[in-house]
Amino acid sequence: MARDGTVEPCPPEQEVRHLKMKAANVLLRCLQEEGVDVIFGYPGGVVLPIYDALHSSDIRHVLVRHEQGAAHAADAYARASGKVGVCLATSGPGATNLVTGIANAYMDSVPLVAFTGQVNTALIGKDAFQEVDITGITLPITKHNYLLRRAEDLVRVVKEAFYIARTNRPGPVLVDLPRNVMETEIEFTGYPSEVHLRGYRVVRSCNMGQVVAAAEAINRAERPVIYAGGGVINSNASELLRALAMKAKIPVTTTLMGIGSFPETHYLSLGMLGMHGTRYANYAVSECDLLIAVGARFDDRVTGKISAFAPHAKVIHIDIDAAEIGKNFAVDIPIVGDVRQVLEELVPRVEEKEHFGEWHRTIDRWKEEFPLAYGEPREPDRIKPQYVIEQIYYVTQGKAIITTEVGQNQMWAAQFYKFSQPRHFITSGGLGTMGFGLPAAIGAKIACPELPVINIAGDGSIQMNIQELGTAMQEKLPVVVCILNNHYLGMVRQWQELFFGRRYSYTDISLQPDFVKLAEAYGAVGMRVKEAHLVEAALREALEVKDRPVFIDFWVEREANVFPMVAPGESLYNMLGGDDLL
């Protein structure tokens, strides 16, 4: 009835009345409203209502083989697509298996929503079967988390979870869903378009006075360097970064997480800085008079000895997280804001520089004198690992998505593959999680099915989530796993060689499965390559496979090291190696 008492002809009453449905079904409706098209998950008792709803839902569910794989796949899906990744696990061991993956996403600021099942609300706190306090456990590794006690709160909580995960500095949000709450019948009256969180404000502006000060500093600088991090990629601001660099002719170095934010083939690129950065990037930072940190967090792997980091520089720091400013390093011109927003204001205020000066000539000299290079293999039937990476780059023409495991393989990937686009290098930077690469490749391939996806792996790391080969088989995903097999926990062995007198304590892992047979046991393709001249053909063959994963077991020089290297606690100026061919 309308207010004046007349009867309105439409809409008919049945359409206005909202049907009741199980909260589990409402959950999936909400996910659809959020634009979720894939969930990485693993079932169990208390999530049965959710799985029952999934059975008749349009949302794709990828059945992993271990919940850690679900979290990493969702994480990489988010990094590759720019959307929020979603994973789902049952209570107890399912939830705890997610923990490493959640911590990984937290350290690398990845937007992730993790749903976990929980025992019935009446049993919470009673040590019920498969009960675990997952909101308590994940308190320090989530941006926020929820235990949903009432079905009426479901829609609001899902909305908030996605909003918090993706806005400001992104991060994982966990929502714990008790079974009885998921079975409660509720009305779905629509998905809210807004959230009301009085304690959470999205950064939408920046201090213009600071922007002006930054522009002046840039215009006055003689030896400026841009130090770009993961925040540039998160902000989708690569083009603006390039505009800034090119307008003022500023050399750019990136962190491991910032790789791809600036094309590494560009003449202004210095590659990566830090512990395994290029000599010229580390020298440039050590000698610059202005350091422009853009969406980077002064990690200790980057700065080395902090008191000797950029010792002659005035420092501008652009970061969306105010707590990052001054946390590790005192800066001169802090700007709290989104990289994109800040650069939109900053670039027009920066003066165009026509010429390259003394600074560029110095850098060019360093580049000539200390290029990234490597020598000949010192063992028969072993390939130089760096050569394999170069071939991967060559064969994919720099256009593949590369995921990595952790260790030497990861560093060589960062050094020798030249990335020119954001979201193409997917690696575990902050947590350094061995076992990330394979599930990450799965997530990335699902996000970007048209791109080749290659996991550059170590023989140790690949064994940490090798079961995800089953997931890739089931989903018919042609991800290529290139194992740089040195039969060592190579990165740790390198430290033992350099800092512990070559005492290789528990780092020899030559007892290992035959990776070719192992791949074949799953129905995947397996290959082994021990000679450099066969590398390219093997890669081409692998990239031809379209319906299943491929393992290539590259036998690489056992004791090859990653150089240059800044020893822990040393300044960036004091690097080991990289000045001759090793």
Partner 1 sequence: MKHTLSVIVENHPGVLTRVATLFRRRSYNIDSLTVGRTENPTVSRMTIVVEGDDVLIEQVVKQLHKLVEVIKITDITDDPSVDRELVLVKVRADTQVRAEIMQIVEIFRARIVDIGRNTLIIEATGDENKINAIEDSLRPFGIMELVRTGKVAMVRGGK
Ligand X SMILES: Cc1cc2nc3c(=O)[nH]c(=O)nc-3n(C[C@H](O)[C@H](O)[C@H](O)COP(=O)(O)OP(=O)(O)OC[C@H]3O[C@@H](n4cnc5c(N)ncnc54)[C@H](O)[C@@H]3O)c2cc1C
Q: Measured between alpha carbons, how far is 167 from 563 in angstroms, rounded to an integer?
A: 37
Q: Where are the alpha helices (DSSP H) in 17-65?
A: 23-33, 48-55
Residue 173 in tokens: 């949000």
* Nearer to partner 1 among residue 77 and residue 309 (C-beta): 309
Q: Tell me the window of 13-21, 369-377, 386-394, 482-490 that interacts with ligand TPP (CB under 6 A).
A: 482-490
Q: Tell me the window of 59-67, 417-425, 428-436, 530-538 that interacts with ligand X (CB under 6 A).
A: 428-436
Q: Tell me the window of 122-130, 200-208, 485-493, 523-531 that interacts with Mg ion (CB under 5 A).
A: 485-493
Q: Is residue 139 a contact point for partner 1 (CB under 8 A)?
A: yes
Distance in Å, CB of 512 to ligand TPP, minimum: 9
* Nearer to Mg ion among residue 234 and residue 463 (C-beta): 463
Q: Measured between alpha carbons, how far is 341 from 231 in angstroms, rounded to an integer?
A: 12
Q: Is residue 324 a contact point for ligand X (CB under 6 A)?
A: yes
Q: Measured between alpha carbons, how far is 207 from 194 in angstroms, rounded to an integer?
A: 26
Q: Is residue 432 a contact point for ligand TPP (CB under 6 A)?
A: yes
Which of the choices ligand X, ligand TPP, Mg ion, none does residue 321 contact, using the CB cut-off of 5 to 8 A by kind? Answer: ligand X
* Nearer to ligand X among residue 65 and residue 423 (C-beta): 423
Among 28, 30, 285, 320, the residue binding ligand X under the rule CB under 6 A is: 320
Q: Is residue 152 a contact point for partner 1 (CB under 8 A)?
A: no
Q: Measured between alpha carbons, how far is 135 from 112 in angstroms, rounded to an integer?
A: 15
Q: Is residue 258 a contact point for ligand TPP (CB under 6 A)?
A: no
**Residue 141 Cα distances to 112, 170, 324, angstroms:** 12, 12, 17
Q: Measured between alpha carbons, how far is 226 from 247 in angstroms, rounded to an integer?
A: 13
Distance in Å, CB of 325 to partner 1, minimum: 8
Site for ligand TPP in 338-367 (CB under 6 A): none
Which of the choices Mg ion, ligand TPP, partner 1, none does residue 406 contact, using the CB cut-off of 5 to 8 A by kind? Answer: ligand TPP
Distance in Å, CB of 140 to partner 1, minimum: 5
* Nearer to Mg ion among residue 403 and residue 486 (C-beta): 486
* Nearer to ligand TPP among residue 479 and residue 483 (C-beta): 483
Distance in Å, CB of 565 to ligand TPP, minimum: 13
Distance in Å, CB of 407 to ligand TPP, minimum: 2
Q: Tell me the window of 5-13, 15-23, 300-308, 431-439 that interacts with ligand TPP (CB under 6 A).
A: 431-439
192 Cβ contact list (under 8 Å, min separation 6): 155, 156, 159
202 Cβ contact list (under 8 Å, min separation 6): 167, 168
Angle value at C-alpha 258, between 249 and 414, nearest 5 degrees: 105
Among 29, 276, 487, 548, the residue binding ligand X under the rule CB under 6 A is: 276
Three-state SS annotation for 111-160: CEEEEEEECCHHHCCCCCCCCCCHHHHCHHHCCEEEECCCHHHHHHHHHH
The helix/strand/coil state of 402 is strand
The helix/strand/coil state of 81 is helix
Which of the choices ligand TPP, ligand X, Mg ion, none does residue 234 contact, using the CB cut-off of 5 to 8 A by kind? Answer: ligand X
Q: Is residue 302 a contact point for ligand X (CB under 6 A)?
A: yes
Residue 208 in tokens: 């213009």
The length of the chain, given as a count of residues = 582
Which of the choices ligand TPP, partner 1, ligand X, none does residue 176 contact, using the CB cut-off of 5 to 8 A by kind? Answer: none
* Nearer to Mg ion among residue 359 and residue 488 (C-beta): 488
User: Please, is 303 exposed, middle or buried when counting C-beta atoms within 10 Å of its C-beta (0-12, 13-18, 19+)?
Assistant: buried
Among 199, 380, 501, 569, the residue binding partner 1 under the rule CB under 8 A is: 199
* Nearer to partner 1 among residue 203 and residue 246 (C-beta): 203
333 Cβ contact list (under 8 Å, min separation 6): 210, 213, 214, 217, 314, 315, 316, 317
Cβ atoms within 10 Å, residue 140: 8
Q: Is residue 87 a contact point for ligand X (CB under 6 A)?
A: no
Beta bridge partners of 20: 187
Q: Is residue 458 a contact point for Mg ion (CB under 5 A)?
A: yes
* Nearer to ligand TPP among residue 432 and residue 577 (C-beta): 432
Q: Is residue 94 a contact point for Mg ion (CB under 5 A)?
A: no
Among 128, 213, 322, 451, the residue binding partner 1 under the rule CB under 8 A is: 322
Q: Measured between alpha carbons, how far is 206 from 504 in angstroms, rounded to an integer?
A: 51
| 173, amino acid identity | V
* Nearer to ligand X among residue 109 and residue 561 (C-beta): 109
Q: Are 38 and 15 in contact (CB under 8 A)?
A: no
The helix/strand/coil state of 230 is helix
Q: Is residue 422 a contact point for ligand X (CB under 6 A)?
A: no
Our CA dihedral for 477, 463, 51, 170, rounded to 10 degrees, sits at -80
Q: Measured between alpha carbons, how far is 379 from 3 in angstroms, rounded to an integer?
A: 89
**Can you say how many angstroms the Cα of residue 541 is from the centroid of all Cα atoms in its chain?**
28
Which of the choices ligand X, partner 1, Mg ion, none does residue 200 contact, using the CB cut-off of 5 to 8 A by kind? Answer: partner 1
The residue with its CB nearest to ligand X is 230
Among 178, 229, 478, 578, the residue binding ligand X under the rule CB under 6 A is: 229
Residue 530 in tokens: 């021990």
Q: Is residue 122 a contact point for partner 1 (CB under 8 A)?
A: no
Q: Where are the alpha helices (DSSP H) in 418-503?
A: 437-447, 468-474, 490-499
Distance in Å, CB of 250 to ligand X, minimum: 17
Angle value at C-alpha 238, between 362 and 246, nearest 5 degrees: 40
Compute and round to an integer the Cα radius of gyration of the chain.
25
Q: Is residue 526 a contact point for Mg ion (CB under 5 A)?
A: no
**Helices (H), strands (E): how many in the chain?**
22, 22
Could you list the residues that contact ligand X (CB under 6 A)? 108-109, 169, 229-231, 234-235, 255-258, 272-277, 295-297, 299, 301-302, 319-321, 324, 338-339, 406, 410-411, 429-430, 432, 491
Could you list the residues that contact ligand TPP (CB under 6 A)? 405-409, 432-434, 458-461, 484, 486, 488-492
Could you list the residues that contact partner 1 (CB under 8 A)? 135-136, 139-140, 143-144, 147, 164, 197-200, 321-323, 326-327
